[in-house]
Amino acid sequence: MMVQKDQNILSRYTAGLSRQESPPMLLSNEHKPLTGKERRTQSMLPPLADKTIVLHERVISNPLPTSKGFEPSMEVLYGRIRFNSSLNALMINFDGIRVDTEQHIKNIRQAIQNIINSHNKEFSDVSCFVNYDGFTVDKSMMELYKAHVDSHLSSEQYKTVQRFTAKAFIQDEIKKLEQASNVTTDSNCSTILNKKYRIERPLDEGTYARVWLGQDVETNTHVAIKEYSKKSLESVPKLLHFFNKEVRILKKIKSNGGHINIAELIDNVENDSSHFLIMELCHTGSLDSPFDPHQQLSEQVAHKYFIQIVDALDFLHNKCCVVHRDLQLSNICLDINDNIKIIDFGVGDFCEADQSLDMFCGNSSNACPEMLTGKSYVGCQADVWSVGCCLYKMLTGYNPYRCAQKTLTGEFMIPLEEEEALSSQAKDLLNCILCLDKSKRYTLEDIKKHEWFLNGGSL
């Protein structure tokens, strides 16, 4: 009966693949993202996922594993292993999987073999991508796992084997901070800082920093006050390194005359318990609205914002030699005049035009393919990819890729050909920026010459 059950699961897997080259998204027909005219005729968007989804599409949307992780049953594995025919690539997502029995090891080998066989492929012709985030093997099973699985997932068996991840470096450092004993943010900060800045009320709070609404008591101008607990920073030295670099970046931007579309560092002060960055206040908040997470902008509005983002990025890259590395709509705010303000250089870095970096940081949804696979990447190119992701979300209301696997295979959340409302020029620009082949991917200079960039607001 167990064999019959596994065959039934595989038959459902192959049946799903035979219906279409690119498997359906993680949504039922009833709860898929609206496109084109549909989105403008329905004010309340449906939920993102349905519980009765096709097995082989239950990839990275699984709930976060418990401390014990997921057992690699055949059903789970057929949901975690996919073959992309257009790229001739096997995508294996071991995120949160635990291996603690011999049967688990047999299941993994059998599932991989069945899926390759279902496509009539030889292992040596296939490129393999594997995600090991949160993957664990019991010590008693380690030798068996190495012999039967680890040795198989090698470049000797496949055309190429690459590891990918959806977890940025900074997440590990923040986790250390959360686990550190006796590390808390001091909530009893002074009402007046440096006899000049009055703290009024909290605006936002993160793991190791929080933002206050403040006021310059001399000019009565409202400011944003970003507070970093010294105790928190000192408990994780790498976070202190990031903080010090953020201050240097903001000062470098200011020394180069600043930019109208980058939030300005006004001052930096400290007291016994905290560091404070006094920043220009963005009155309207970020473009990533928590009240309408799938907000879709018109091409005219998106065009205006995109031009400002690109101009600010050009200033950062070419005048300041700085890369942001965490460009997403939550870090792009609006001022009182409806102009863009880029904020949060917490994982930024100093970088020459063609300089390579190797740290994965920022948001995996907006990370370029090279960053996800742990390869070195050109910092400026990584920012341009993220800008393309921002443009996609402004125009469609959704991130371009549902998960890291989708980024690596170039499968958009909403295929652009389904976006009837978008102009052909906008679609072309998105395809040129979010191009898997980095040698063909657009640069900032290419973007500024594109027809949509030059005339998008009037198309």
Q: Are residues 13 and 126 in the same domain?
A: yes
- For the cut 80, the answer to whether the pLDDT of residue 36 exceeds it is no
314 catalytic residue (yes or no):
no
Sorting pLDDT into bands at 50, 70 and 90, what band is 79?
A: confident
Q: What DSSP character marks residue 449?
A: H
Sorting pLDDT into bands at 50, 70 and 90, what band is 166?
A: confident
Spatial distance between the Cα atoms of 381 and 365, rounded to a whole number of angstroms: 16
Q: Are residues 219 and 292 in the same domain?
A: no
Q: Are residues 323 and 380 in the same domain?
A: yes
Q: Are residues 79 and 110 in the same domain?
A: yes
- For the cut 80, the answer to whether the pLDDT of residue 160 exceeds it is yes
Cα–Cα nearest to 111, from 7, 18, 23:
7
Cα–Cα nearest to 456, from 340, 312, 297:
297
- For the cut 90, the answer to whether the pLDDT of residue 440 exceeds it is yes
Sorting pLDDT into bands at 50, 70 and 90, what band is 262?
A: very high
Q: Is the distance from CB of 255 to CB of 234 less than 8 angstroms?
A: no
Cross-strand bridge partners of residue 276? 227, 269
pLDDT at residue 111, rounded to an integer: 93
Which stretch, 196-210, 354-368, 384-398, has highest mean pLDDT? 384-398
pLDDT at residue 420, rounded to an integer: 85
State the pTM of this model. 0.74
For residue 132, CA distances in Å to 135, 269, 370 come to 5, 42, 17
Q: Are residues 63 and 113 in the same domain?
A: yes
Which tokens belong to 259? Answer: 């930019």
Sorting pLDDT into bands at 50, 70 and 90, what band is 8?
A: low
- For the cut 50, the answer to whether the pLDDT of residue 445 exceeds it is yes
- For the cut 80, the answer to whether the pLDDT of residue 128 exceeds it is yes
Q: 80 or 172, which is more confident?
A: 80
Q: Are residues 421 and 295 in the same domain?
A: yes
CA angle in degrees (0–180, nearest 5) for 298-299-303: 120
Q: Are residues 235 and 322 in the same domain?
A: no
Q: Is the distance from CB of 78 to CB of 13 less than 8 angstroms?
A: yes
- For the cut 80, the answer to whether the pLDDT of residue 24 exceeds it is no
Q: 126 or 54, which is more confident?
A: 126
pLDDT at residue 25, rounded to an integer: 33
Of the three residues 164, 190, 205, the one that is the final residue of a domain is 164
Spatial distance between the Cα atoms of 163 and 171, rounded to a whole number of angstroms: 18
Cross-strand bridge partners of residue 267? 278
- For the cut 80, the answer to whether the pLDDT of residue 58 exceeds it is no
- For the cut 50, the answer to whether the pLDDT of residue 55 exceeds it is no
Of the three residues 248, 280, 312, the one that is the final residue of a domain is 280
Of the three residues 239, 262, 280, the one that is the final residue of a domain is 280
Q: Is the distance from CB of 83 to CB of 91 less than 8 angstroms?
A: yes
Torsions phi, psi for 204 (to 5 deg): -160, 160
Q: Is the distance from CB of 93 to CB of 405 less than 8 angstroms?
A: yes
Q: Are residues 305 and 382 in the same domain?
A: yes
For residue 191, CA distances in Å to 181, 269, 322 come to 27, 14, 34
- Tell me, what amino acid is at 383? D
Spatial distance between the Cα atoms of 322 and 250, rounded to a whole number of angstroms: 10
**Domain limits at 302?**
287-458
pLDDT at residue 294, rounded to an integer: 81
Q: How many domains does the chain have?
A: 3
Which tokens belong to 99? Answer: 């291996």
The chain-wide mean pLDDT, for the chain, equals: 81
Q: Which residue out of 6, 95, 100, 326 is catalytically annotated?
A: 326
Query: Mean pLDDT across the stretch 326-336?
Result: 93
Query: Where does residue 134 fall: left (phi above 0), alpha (psi -120 to 50 degrees), or beta otherwise?
Result: left
Spatial distance between the Cα atoms of 179 and 376, rounded to a whole number of angstroms: 30
Which tokens belong to 321? Answer: 């030699």
CATH number of the structural domain spanning residue 178: 3.30.200.20
Q: Which residues, 6 or more positions from 422, have their beta carbon under 8 angstroms from its beta carbon?
A: 299, 395, 396, 416
Sorting pLDDT into bands at 50, 70 and 90, what band is 291?
A: low
pLDDT at residue 232, rounded to an integer: 84
Q: Are residues 156 and 179 in the same domain?
A: no
Q: Where are the beta strands (DSSP E) in 96-141?
A: 98-99, 127-131, 136-137
Q: Where are the alpha helices (DSSP H) in 20-53?
A: 37-41
Q: Are residues 141 and 183 in the same domain?
A: no
Spatial distance between the Cα atoms of 241 and 349, rounded to a whole number of angstroms: 11
Q: Are residues 77 and 111 in the same domain?
A: yes
Which helix (H) or strand (E) covers residue 223, if one does? strand 222-229
Alpha-carbon dihedral sign for residues 177, 329, 162, 85: positive
Query: Mean pLDDT across the stretch 294-319?
Result: 95
- For the cut 60, the answer to whether the pLDDT of residue 40 exceeds it is no
CATH number of the structural domain spanning residue 392: 1.10.510.10
Q: Is the distance from CB of 211 to CB of 222 less than 8 angstroms?
A: no
Q: Are residues 452 and 339 in the same domain?
A: yes
Count other Cβ atoms within 10 Å, centred on residue 255. Answer: 9
